[in-house]
């Protein structure tokens, strides 16, 4: 059983436990459930913004603890103030050290927030709306094309947007009408190696009406300019900032460099 299989098996157990504790009706009564949703699509198409989906991530199965000390409000506020187009917040506890509380705290910022988790059930999408998320992640590697369509349709019915994450060319068939934003993960889920060239090849096969997002392994402004030149509008970056002692400051320096390079470019 690979790490993704382990995460999904654990996630199914967690979802059933959470359902038994909190009903859908209770989730729908939470204050943030009724808040107007911010559109990631609009933010990514806005040329005045960086296109960066800045991630708050404490740890990962492959790297262990990345930053156990960072304060979610401090970091996400710095991301927002320095031009992030979206915040991505990990809510998986067991494998990534995240929590619902992290997302609730990040919600003080007035930009789209992505609930980064392993979604296998409609209940988690209702939870995402109740915790103030605007966007959910659907990972093709752990869902069938039919499941992606069903879950994306449900998310849209709640007013949420969907980021569909692909890792391999055979997952292109998961793209459907309801998945308007498509992410390509540069990291191979089996080997954890980063291959930007593979992502660029895959991007050519994504329908032109979809918004493309590059994910993982982005460590330089040059990477972003290369992806932009190949039609990408969004760039999900987490570890590059979170591994620093002050992730917010690292993000600020990166975006200043991006503005400078963009101007020269």
At 235, which helix (H) or strand (E)? strand 232-237
246 is catalytic: no
Residue 1: per-residue pLDDT: 74
20 is catalytic: no
Residue 195: per-residue pLDDT: 86
216 is catalytic: yes
Q: What's the chain's length in residues?
A: 265
235-247 per-position pLDDT tens digit:
999 999 999 999 9
What is the count of structural domains for the chain?
A: 1
pTM: 0.96
* Percentage helix, strand, coil for the chain under 3-state DSSP, each rounded to 5: 45, 20, 35
Give CA–CA dist 133/90, Å, rounded: 11
Regions of the chain short of the pLDDT cut 50: 265
Residue 39: per-residue pLDDT: 98
Choice among 57, 105, 129, 212 that is catalytic: 57
Closest CA to 60 of 104, 99, 93, 12: 93
Residue 217: per-residue pLDDT: 87
Residue 188: per-residue pLDDT: 73
206 phi and psi angles, rounded to 5 deg: -85, 135
Are the CB atoms for 161 and 183 separated by under 8 Å?
Answer: no
The residue segments making up the domain with residue 100 are: 3-264
Domain containing residue 202: CATH number = 3.20.20.70
């Amino acid at each position: 059983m690979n790490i993704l299989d382990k995460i999904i098996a654990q996630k199914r157990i967690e979802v059933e436990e959470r359902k038994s504790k909190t009903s859908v009706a209770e989730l729908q009564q939470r204050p943030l459930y009724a808040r107007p949703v911010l559109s990631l699509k609009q933010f990514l198409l806005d040329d005045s913004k960086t296109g960066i989906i800045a991630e708050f991530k404490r740890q990962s199965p492959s790297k262990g603890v990345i930053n156990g000390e960072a304060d979610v409000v401090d970091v996400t506020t710095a991301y927002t103030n320095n031009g992030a187009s979206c915040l991505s917040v990990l809510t998986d506890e067991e494998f990534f050290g995240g929590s619902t509380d992290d997302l609730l705290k990040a919600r003080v910022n007035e930009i789209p927030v992505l609930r980064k988790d392993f979604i296998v059930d409609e209940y988690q999408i209702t939870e995402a709306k109740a915790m103030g998320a605007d966007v959910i992640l659907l990972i093709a590697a752990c869902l069938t094309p039919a499941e992606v369509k069903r879950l994306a349709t449900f998310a849209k019915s709640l007013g949420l947007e969907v980021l569909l994450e692909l890792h391999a060319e055979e997952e292109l068939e998961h793209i459907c009408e309801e998945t308007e934003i498509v992410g390509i993960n540069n990291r191979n889920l089996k080997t954890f190696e980063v291959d930007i060239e593979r992502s660029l090849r895959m991007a050519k096969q994504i329908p032109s009406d979809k918004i493309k997002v590059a994910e993982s392994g982005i460590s330089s402004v040059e990477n972003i300019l290369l992806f932009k030149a190949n039609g990408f509008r969004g760039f999900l970056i987490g570890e590059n900032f979170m591994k620093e002692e002050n992730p917010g400051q690292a993000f600020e320096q990166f975006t200043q460099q991006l503005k400078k390079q963009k101007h020269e470019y």
